[in-house]
Structure 1
């Protein structure tokens, strides 16, 4: 055990461990090599100033393996310390397994630094999302918007609740599809931001264009799968006319959709960065998420809570303004009579576009950085990223996971 690095006392000579069995004779040409006849008792040190240099003090806590080179009063991470050096950070994140704060900070930093490339792409997708949502609300979903009066029967209340639920779920699915598309389009920008490089809209579009048909197929597959799950599990309650059975089916459907959506959450960046097909990207996401489902689910939920709060504030302001300019006023908006008027829909739609333009890049950035983090943890992607960023003398154990294997060629 004493032959293992780090177990011997700092500054000790391996030959000192042998003195008890094979003492070495003093050298005649060194007059100070003879031991004095009078030695202080064991366990006592000489007083300062007596001509004898006291032995070095034992290392302080934090100067060992856990605190690289952190000597009392000295600079942090001084050369010659025992612990690991800090991971290289050529871009928005350090090249090592990431924590929650680093993932959120990396997404926000990329949005702030590369806003000229991020915001126009997100704005275009947000406008398309809102136009589709408004068109559906004015045509297909207009029959579902039932506003009950004060003397409404339980059946009418149930119809109103069901109609509002259908409209809300439809909007949510449209935004989820938009989030998948935004994630794919911004993957190139975020991947270069990790390397400390900028990417223009033209470069991002050029990199994403070959994969757009596959991206559309992936978004369509995820959407249809979620709708099919919800329809199958809610159908018994609708057929039986039972509110309890309908609510139970909805809860089960939402749980299953959340599980599958998290399992395939990394499919979009895998499809774009690895140039994979739809089925292969789904398998890659399932493999990367395996064993870390709860962590990825928790980070995704926290991100949605934060972005939902920000979006809610923005939409609330524009909804208030829309209520003021609506013909029915705020009272009409509150009781549901003015929610389908064009002034209210246009102003609230502008607020929704602004909110989506802000929150979609945040959600996309977290997804891309989760993908990179999982590959760093499982495949030592930090080595490839360091080489791509031109980081010199980047060791395999500096930021990556010991014993991990390099990523597949071409990925």
Structure 2
């Protein structure tokens, strides 16, 4: 077992003591008896990039042999051939910009499939959230200024019950939508890496058997994080006073650091569960093995992707909010404005803003699950030389 961070010698053992033959985009999982695809016996020497396996049908430039490419700056140093690129990524270790660019390329090339997944999910999610807010929201009791401590305690308990009543179904709906979207988009990006088309029905057939386990995994991580934060802050909450507040703050800070560390360590469990068809515990162990020794790199990539997607989404929402407020406050000041024109202007702006926000979520929402799948593949390329298997899979060879 080789857990050294960074790209190891091609053909080194997988980081989880498996045969490492699970290839994104391949419908079959490796068999326990070793009958699945194995590593090639002919491996390149350490520290070099080898060209993809050639053959008699390999297209070559006129007057030049495949083994003697012109000098160029490719992967592996000056004079080395560029990495093969059958799909949206070159088959070599990737940078954060290449991962984001590949996610956008996947969205552009497979936009029909992606929208066929995200649009129904977004509509159903919004309808479900409206239903929850309309019928499951509890009314809070009025608390007057001279309320007794008992009344204040009862009001606080009512507030907690109302929050739990509304938060639990809201969280369940959001997580279910995220699980469904992430599962199908992970299959889409696994095919996009090899440059192969995929339909919604094909993605559904491959992803549906793993949805229950993925749902449990997606619920376990935030619930575990919440339980850890509660346990860390509980002594300070029980102590009370200024000392208790300080102790609760320190406990919450320590829990926050631990939660971030654990979420990054187990951040690749979802694509591992989907693409390698493992169980929940095995997927968590698999993610921990892939991240081991590369925690800061995975953290940096994840943070950059969250900041970019979140920043763009926030900027769009701010533009919509400012435009809506300008419409609300500017319409009455317009010359010859009537109540009808004011209402029409405000309603039009509200509908336009809601539509723009919905379209923004449709565009930005798929980027994170797509980037997560690409980050998983990048880690396997770096640690297990998965690029060799992907090259053979893209060429349709098994040896």
| Structures share fold, TM-score greater than 0.5 | yes
Look up the match of 2:232. Answer: 233
Structure 1 unaligned runs (5+)? 1-64, 150-154, 330-342, 395-411
Q: Distance in 2 between matches of 1:248 and 1:108?
A: 40
1:382 aligns with 2:373: no
Q: Distance in 2 between matches of 1:140 and 1:229?
A: 28
Indicate how the Cα distance of structure 1 residues 351 and 230 shifts in structure 2: closer, same or farther if over 3 A, else same: farther
Higher relative contact order (CA 8 A, sep 6+): 2
Quote the offset at 1:75 in angstroms: 5.5
Look up the match of 1:215. Answer: 214
Quote the offset at 1:263 in angstroms: 0.9
Q: Distance in 1 between matches of 2:298 and 2:81?
A: 27
Note the 1:353-392 alignment, pairs <5 A.
353-390=358-395
Look up the match of 2:45. Answer: none
Matched positions, count: 298
Quote the offset at 1:85 in angstroms: 1.3
Look up the match of 1:112. Answer: 108
Q: Distance in 2 between matches of 1:244 and 1:349?
A: 42
Quote the offset at 1:299 in angstroms: 0.5
Q: Distance in 2 between matches of 1:316 and 1:200?
A: 35
Kindly provide the CA deviation profile for residues 221-242 of structure 1, in whole angstroms up to 9, marking residues without a partner as x: 1232122123223334444265
Quote the offset at 1:96 in angstroms: 1.1
Look up the match of 2:87. Answer: 91
Look up the match of 1:182. Answer: 181
Quote the offset at 1:97 in angstroms: 1.3
Quote the offset at 1:347 in angstroms: 8.2
The RMSD of aligned alpha carbons is 4.5
Quote the offset at 1:305 in angstroms: 0.4
Q: Which moved further from structure 2: 295-304 or 92-101?
A: 92-101
Look up the match of 2:276. Answer: 274
Indicate how the Cα distance of structure 1 residues 172 and 355 shifts in structure 2: closer, same or farther if over 3 A, else same: farther
Q: Which moved further from structure 2: 104-113 or 240-249?
A: 240-249
Q: Distance in 2 between matches of 1:229 and 1:345?
A: 41
Kindly provide the CA deviation profile for residues 180-227 of structure 1, in whole angstroms up to 9, marking residues without a partner as x: 543222011101100011111111111111111111111121232122
Q: Distance in 2 between matches of 1:135 and 1:238?
A: 35
Indicate how the Cα distance of structure 1 residues 143 and 326 shifts in structure 2: closer, same or farther if over 3 A, else same: farther
Q: Distance in 2 between matches of 1:292 and 1:108?
A: 25
Q: Distance in 1 between matches of 2:289 and 2:191?
A: 24
SS at match of 2:366: helix
Look up the match of 2:3. Answer: none
Higher gyration radius (CA): 1
TM-score, length-scaled by structure 1: 0.60
